[in-house]
Amino acid sequence: MLAYIARRLLYAVPILIGVNLITFMLFFIVNTPDDMARMHLGMKHVTPQAIEKWKAERGYDKPLLYNEEAQGLSTFTDTIFFQKSVRLFAFDFGLSDDGRDIGHDIYQRMWPSLAIAVPILVFGLLTNITVAMLLAFFRATYIDVTGVIMLVALMSISSLFYIIGGQYVIGKLLHLVPISGYDSGMNALKFIVLPVLVALLYGIGSGGRWYRTIFLEEIGKDYVRTARAKGLSERLVLFRHVLKNAMIPILTGVVVLLPLLFMGSLILESFFGIPGLGSYVIDAIQAQDFAIVRSMVFVGSVLYIIGLILTDISYTLVDPRIRLS
Amino acid sequence: MLMEGMAYFSSVKPVLLKTDALIFMLLAVIIAFGAYARGKAYLRAPWRKVFSSRTGMVAAVVIVFYGTVALLDSIHMREPLENKGHDGETFYSVEVISLLDLMLGPLKTQVEKTYSAPFATHLYAKETVELPDGSSARLYPRLEYGGAHLEDPQRDKGRDILLRSLSGAGAGLLAWVALGALFIWGMARRARASFSVTLKQILGGRTAIPWHMMLYTAGVFLVLIAVIASLAGHYHIFGTDKVGNDVLYQAIKSIRTALVIGTLTTLVMLPFALLFGIMAGYLRGWVDDVIQYLYTTLNSIPGILLIASAILMLQVYIDTHPDLFETDAARADMRLLFLCIILGVTSWTGLCRLLRGETMKMRAAEFVQAASAFGVRHSRIMSRHLLPNVMHIVLITVVLDFSGLVLAEAILSYVGVGVDPSMHSWGNMINGARLEMARDPMVWWSLLAAFVFMFILVLAANLFSDAVRDAFDPRTLSR
């Protein structure tokens, strides 16, 4: 087991190098630092001196990959690639383009992101499983058919509609909770309720439908027939046998998402004004702060790879038939 | 009339945007595939199942309506300007218009000053107006076009709208009855049956394909279009936006953007996913390792961040090379195409993995073993024996992805990395209207129009994809 995890972690290294190369190519070779400087300083009436100054302040004035002027090892270390990209491996994110410490920002903004993402995951699982169980219990009746049609309709509505509608009805008409904003500690609760509700409503459509097919697949299996044959009621069959076995694909499907909870939700956070990592990214995109976007791409890839490893481990934990090799 | 039309079309300069070319290519591919599938019994059977699904075919009619609008909107041209150059050379307007613009006519040109509510006759904002007696007052001025034909809007508006909708609905109904009768007559001729027998069969739902449901759906659409057509010249049905443009016009123009993103993205990603997926699954070894590495790497970058970085970089490139694009439309089109490509890059990995798994399973099958025992080359085994057997997966994925992509466009435009801000899209409409939520009374009509148009398309796409999956997925076949 440990050997397997160690091997998977080693396998992650070339992937992260690949991610790093892709972002490096996107950010520095397709468009040179000169282009970025011009973009930031405004397109017209930019003096070459201003561009040089902007680049020097942010360390973009070095050669890209190979520094001819430097001596010894620093021919490679004193370059943009080493300074800006390789250092990410040590989780040293450096400064953003407007001079803030990115590592500190990420640590600060992680908690509000988690405060919304965790309740969404937990309550989302609960509601989706409940809805799916209900539909599976009434399968092939009119309740099931109408239910599925409603789920399809729910998932055909844009998530933006739920957000804007939720803000308008609950926030503006009913004045139940503030429309947007955030506060520290327990005061955050009233700001969290609305985004979580909106996300739940949006998630029911696809989640409920997906879990319903998982339940129906389980119901078709032989052990269910055995359980019925020995005289168990339909309710007992569903809740004692089917639910337990259906949880295997459901939970292992969730595990890959766990690390990504740290990244937060782009749209929810920016609409509800929550200072998490999602809105951090959106702000960076809109301010064209490439240093932040670069760092977040890297963090996101690391979390995704951790999620993949956790998924493999969770398979062996819930299903003893699978052995890692 | 015909001569005038001919003269008009010979005077304009046709413009073929990159996405136009790809759309027509896609259409050709679909038609070619349809002709090919007709001749193959194993392909006809699942399609017949799709065609016999009621919800699926109702959804298909809706999608065809949207598709027709998008096609009309993909034939672009530039009108000649009045004043010619020194040597009689004709200059063309920098504005690129489409066939759809010509058909919508007044919707495009009837521009008010600023916001106005749906069916309003007065502007949303108060203005200082000079009265006939020379004094001035702050009041809501009449709209330039919306309800301008009414003498006393308060008295006549309701009656006028009702009459116009009724006459529109009547015209639509007549057109539907005429077209429907023509269709049934054609069906009767083909089946060599009498008209009344065919009519009874179709309306009674006793045909293999649920023609009656499709006819009813088409009827609803025809009546709606006729009602809108008879009202749109005199009112702004969905109001106007901040700079006074008709919201209905924007919503209709956005259809093409949505369909381009929904279809071209998969068209762009398909060759890569097919080639890499089948190669990895069939050849195994180092090829498999390299391809797996490639898609794990791409997959591990959060999709929206990759899209955002790529679009930001493209924007820098476009801004530093303004001379590459002849018109604004060409520039916006470039960004749309690039968005499709980058969305394709982020989404091909899922299909590739599915294809790899399926090919691996099929590699051990007898027909592949037999082919390789006969000495058939690898490339030929992959293209002739494996490819046709994974096409059902491709079809299901393509149809399933469509609705997700349409929804994604709205979100990307909101983040600011979607289509060009000058391009009509539902995402841009929502984004523009979002800032006006706080106004009192609220400006809700842009949001409503965008959400309604998007909802109908996505719902239809979801229902259609369900029908396709039921027919093609071997796992559901046994049930």
Q: Which of B54, B290, B301, B442 to mutate to test the interface with A (most CBs of A within 10 A)?
A: B301
Q: Measured between beta carbons, which residues in chain B are less than 8 angstroms from residue A32?
A: none
Give the contacts of B302 (CB within 8 A, at least 6 positions apart): A260, A263, A296, A297, A300, A301, A304
Distance (Å) from the alpha carbon of A15 to chain B's nearest alpha carbon: 5
Confidence of residue A126 (pLDDT cuts 50, 70, 90): very high
Residue B345 within any structural domain of the chain: yes
Query: Tokens at residue A245, please?
Result: 């076995």
Handedness of CA B220, B223, B227, B232 (dihedral sign): positive
CATH number, position B396 = 1.10.3720.10
Report pLDDT digits (tens) over B275-323: 999 999 898 888 988 998 888 888 888 888 788 878 877 877 777 777 7
Q: What pLDDT does B28 receive? A: 92
Cβ-contact B75, B20 below 8 angstroms: yes
Q: Measured between beta carbons, which residues in chain B are less than 8 angstroms from residue A285?
A: 308, 312, 415-417
Q: What pLDDT does A67 receive? A: 66
**Is pLDDT of A77 > 80?**
no
Distance (Å) from the alpha carbon of B362 to chain A's nearest alpha carbon: 23
Separation between Cα atoms, residue A19 and residue A298, nearest integer Å = 7
- Provide the residue type at B153 as one letter: P
**Is pLDDT of A79 > 90?**
no
Report pLDDT digits (tens) over A231-254: 888 888 888 888 888 888 888 888
CB atoms under 10 Å from CB of B255, counted, come to 24
Q: What pLDDT does A128 receive? A: 93
Q: What pLDDT does B178 receive? A: 92
Residue B95 within any structural domain of the chain: no
Q: What pLDDT does A315 receive? A: 80
Q: Which of A158, A159, A260, A302 to mutate to test the interface with B (most CBs of B within 10 A)?
A: A158
Q: Measured between beta carbons, which residues in chain A are less than 8 angstroms from residue B413?
A: none
Residue B453 within any structural domain of the chain: yes
Distance (Å) from the alpha carbon of A256 to chain B's nearest alpha carbon: 11
Environment class of A30 (CB within 10 Å of its CB; exposed 0-12, middle 13-18, buried 19+):
middle
Separation between Cα atoms, residue A180 and residue B10, nearest integer Å = 56
- Provide the residue type at A220 as one letter: G
**How many H helices and E strands in chain A?**
15, 0
Residue-wise burial string across A136-174, b where 16 or more C-beta atoms lie within 10 A, e elsewhere: bbebeeeebeebbeebbebbbbbbbbbbbebbbebbeee
Q: What pLDDT does A317 receive? A: 79
Hey, are the CB atoms on A158 and B459 less than 8 Å from each other? no
Query: Tokens at residue A61, please?
Result: 């004035």
> Which residue, A223, A260, A250, is CA-closest to A132?
A250
Residue B3 within any structural domain of the chain: no
Hey, are the CB atoms on B305 and A281 less than 8 Å from each other? yes
Report pLDDT digits (tens) over A49-75: 777 777 777 777 776 666 666 666 666
Hey, are the CB atoms on A158 and B447 less than 8 Å from each other? no
Residue B365 within any structural domain of the chain: yes
- Please list the residues that pair with B14 across neighbouring strands: B77
Distance (Å) from the alpha carbon of B440 to chain A's nearest alpha carbon: 11
Alpha-helical regions (H) of B105-147: 106-109
Cβ-contact A223, A241 below 8 angstroms: yes
Q: Measured between beta carbons, which residues in chain A are less than 8 angstroms from residue B441?
A: none
Separation between Cα atoms, residue B375 and residue B380, nearest integer Å = 10
Separation between Cα atoms, residue A269 and residue A262, nearest integer Å = 13
Hey, are the CB atoms on B415 and A35 less than 8 Å from each other? no
Owning domain of residue B270: 254-478
- The CA–CA distances, whole Å, from A265 to A102, A114, A118, A199, B24 equal 19, 10, 11, 10, 37
Residue B405 within any structural domain of the chain: yes
Q: Mean pLDDT, to the nearest integer, of A257-277? A: 84
Q: Mean pLDDT, to the nearest integer, of A166-181? A: 80
Hey, are the CB atoms on A300 and B296 less than 8 Å from each other? no
Q: Measured between beta carbons, which residues in chain A are less than 8 angstroms from residue B447?
A: 161, 164
ipTM: 0.83
Hey, are the CB atoms on B319 and A164 less than 8 Å from each other? no
Q: Measured between beta carbons, which residues in chain A are less than 8 angstroms from residue B301?
A: 19, 22-23, 297, 300-301
Q: Measured between beta carbons, which residues in chain A are less than 8 angstroms from residue B437?
A: 164, 167-168
Residue B336 within any structural domain of the chain: yes
Taking the CA atoms of residue B167, residue B173, residue B179 and residue B183 in that order, the dihedral angle to the nearest 10 degrees is 180
Q: Measured between beta carbons, which residues in chain A are less than 8 angstroms from residue B442?
A: 168
Q: What pLDDT does B149 receive? A: 74
Q: State how many domains chain B has.
A: 1
Distance (Å) from the alpha carbon of A44 to chain B's nearest alpha carbon: 10
Q: What pLDDT does B255 receive? A: 92
Question: Model's pTM, two decimal places?
Answer: 0.88
Residue B427 within any structural domain of the chain: yes
Give the count of Cβ contacts less than 8 A between chain A and B: 122
Hey, are the CB atoms on B316 and A39 less than 8 Å from each other? yes
Candidate from B298, B299, B308 with C-beta closest to A285: B308
Whether the link from the prior residue into A178 is cis, omega within 30° of 0, is no
Q: What pLDDT does B65 receive? A: 92
Alpha-carbon B175 to chain mean position: 25
Alpha-carbon A215 to chain mean position: 26
Hey, are the CB atoms on B430 and A160 less than 8 Å from each other? yes
Hey, are the CB atoms on B455 and A157 less than 8 Å from each other? yes
Which segments in chain B show pLDDT lower than 50?
477-479
